[in-house]
Every structure is written in structure tokens, then in C-alpha cells.
Amino acid sequence: MRVHGAPWRNYSRFIMASSLDQLKQMTTVVSDTGDFESIKAYKPQDATTNPSLIFRAVEKPAYRPILDEVIAKNKGSSLSGKKLAAKIVDELLVAFGLRILEIVPGRVSTEVDARLSFDVEGSVAKARELIGLYEKAGISRERVLIKLASTWEGIRAAEICEKEGIFCNMTLLFSLGQAIASAEAGVTLISPFVGRIYDYYKKQTGIDYQGAEDPGVESVRQIFNYYKKFDYDIEIMGASFRNVSQILELAGCDLLTISPNFLDDLSKSDAPVVQKLIPEEAKKSSIERRSFDEKSFRWDLNQDAMATDKLAEGIRVFGADIEKLEKIILASV
């Protein structure tokens, strides 16, 4: 089952509506948080998490009981050490996902351990484990997206998963090449990281990019135009925003995953929101169709210094936060 953005509406209906409500008329809004109260407040369609968000959540007194509950369920386990910690991390991710699914009407994204980003078999096995935990809890797999890093191996793992009916969200995606390879693998959804692209170019140039000139915005627009021109049935979910301008420049994208602070800003504003990404216009784009095998994918990624740098950095950060979670768990069991 593929869930797409809301139908386009007449802008005259937006009078007096908040910017957030206007945006929801042209884009499916997804909450980028592990904070249940924020999700309840802004009523997104879907929600997405990652190891960093879950790590920050369990550091808060309000959410620590979720971790304690999962640890308690594993008392007396035959596993120990890192194997037990890994099992508890998986169950913790799903525990957060289950609570989120009680709030949102759509889907939740749950991430495969970033340390498996170059391991096809390991990633597939972990995806099956996570989906199994959701199904054991009575959640159908149509309501879950498994997040995988957009490495060559991650994309191959997603291809296998999709054929088994495990729907995938390709994360840490920074280039058109990654997006094309993901589309050719038949994934359900991709998450281009707008803000991290912006961060890279701002650091390199010293320019505080604004509006349509923002390189992160340009990257998503390029992917959107490519997918729509060549009729790929793949959802695009812009992610990792640094300011509201980036969000508004991508109005019309299939989905946008937005952190609570920006959802709050949008809900308090009544500035008009104009659709910037339009499928019919994208079909008119002058873009050459491309295809990748492993060698050409790796070369294309290598030639993109930004994408290479941010992909590696993202894997390191997510991997480090998984290790921090495991240390908390090992100190508690």
C-alpha cells in the first residue's frame, strides 16, 4: 500500500488557515520526533524516528519508563552483553513505534542499525526482525517503513525487502544518483536530507542560502522532477530542515518530515503557502534518464564530495547513538 500526498486544492480556501494547515493541503506532513506530545499537538499523517531521536527521548524522565519496561521484559534472557543490548534496542525502537502508531493514522518509520549499512544480509535480517516485532504486536506491515541507509548495500537490502512486502524508507540520501538507484530498486520512499546538504555548502562557501537557491532545496527539486518526469511510483519525503524557508520552498513534495519547533512556527503563522513543486511542471523538465550498476553508482557517489561526506558522517552519528543506547542498557540490565 502506498500512501501519497493530499490532492491539490484551490488556494482560495486557505484564507485565515495557518501555514501548517495550508501546507497539509498540498503535502503529507510527517512528524520528525520521538516526542509523543508533539505528535499529538500537530496531528501529522505519519511519523519518523531515528536512533538519535530515540536516544534523546530516553534521556528525558517522561520516556525513560519505556526503556525500563523493555529491559524488565528481558530479565532472565539467555542472551547477555552486546547481543542482549542489541535485542533490547530493537524492542525499544518498536516500543516507540507502537506508541506513535496509536497517535498517527498513517505510518511510522523505524531504522535498521546504521552499523549494518554495508551489510546486505545483515540489513535484511534486521528488517525482518523489526517487522516481526510489529506484527507480533498486531500491527500490519503496511503501517511500517523500515529505514535503511542509501549505500549500495542498503539499496540492495531494500530491493530484497520490498519483494517480501517490507516497505522501505531510504535515509541519508544526498544525491540524485542515490535517488535513481533507489527508484530502480523499487523502494517505497526516499528521504533526501535538505538541511545536511545546506550545512555542507554553508560551511564550504560561508553563504547563508535562502529560498529557492538553497542547495538542499535544489537537490530535492531535482529528484522530484526526475521521478515525476519518468513516472516513478516512489514517494519523496524531504527531511532534516534548518529553517521554515526550506520547508515552504518544497510545498508540493509528496511528504515532508518536520521537527516540532518548525511545526510550531508554521502553526502560528497565517502567511500564504504557495505550491512550489508541481508534478505537471516536473514532467516538462529537460532531464536525461540514467541507470546505475554497482561500479557506476560508487563512482557517481565518489565524484560528489558533499554526498560522500554527509553519508559517511550520518552513518557514524547514527551508529554512535546506537552505541550510546546500548551503554545505557548494559548499565541497567
What does the pLDDT average to over 179-195? 98
- The whole-number pLDDT of residue 15 equals 52
**Domain range list for the chain:** 16-330
Of 15-19, 166-170, 202-206, minimum mean pLDDT range: 15-19
Q: Which fold has domain 16-330?
A: TIM Barrel (3.20.20)
Does 68 have pLDDT greater than 50?
A: yes
pLDDT average, residue stretch 8-29: 77
Mean of the pLDDT values across residues 103-119?
97
Put simply, whether the predicted model's pTM sits higher than 0.75 gets the answer yes
Tell me what pLDDT residue 51 has: 84
Query: Tens digit of pLDDT for each residue in 199-241?
Result: 999 999 999 999 999 999 999 999 999 999 999 999 999 999 9
Task: Single out the catalytic residue among 43, 75, 136, 147.
Answer: 147
The pLDDT > 90 percentage for the chain reads: 90
Mean pLDDT over 40-45 rounds to 94
- Would you state the pLDDT for residue 273? 97
Q: How many CB atoms lie within 10 A of CB 184?
A: 17
Retrieve residue 122's grid coordinates: 545483515
Residue pair 242/197 in contact (Cβ under 8 Å)? The answer is no
**What cell numbers appear for 263 in the block?**
511545526
Residues 6+ apart with CB under 8 A from 213: none
Angle at 50 between CA 83 and CA 318, to 5 degrees: 65
Nearest Cα to Cα of residue 322 among 84, 89, 160: 89
Residue 1 CB contacts under 8 Å (≥ 6 apart), including other chains: 142
Residue type, 101: L
- Is 283 one of the annotated active-site residues of the chain? no
Distances (CA, A) of 272 to 14, 45, 132, 237, 275: 7, 21, 44, 22, 10
Instruction: Fill in the DSSP letter of residue 213.
Output: G
Whole-angstrom Cα distance, residue 46 to residue 105? 7
Torsion angles phi and psi, residue 210, rounded to 5: -130, 150
Cβ atoms of 184 and 292 within 8 Å: the answer is yes
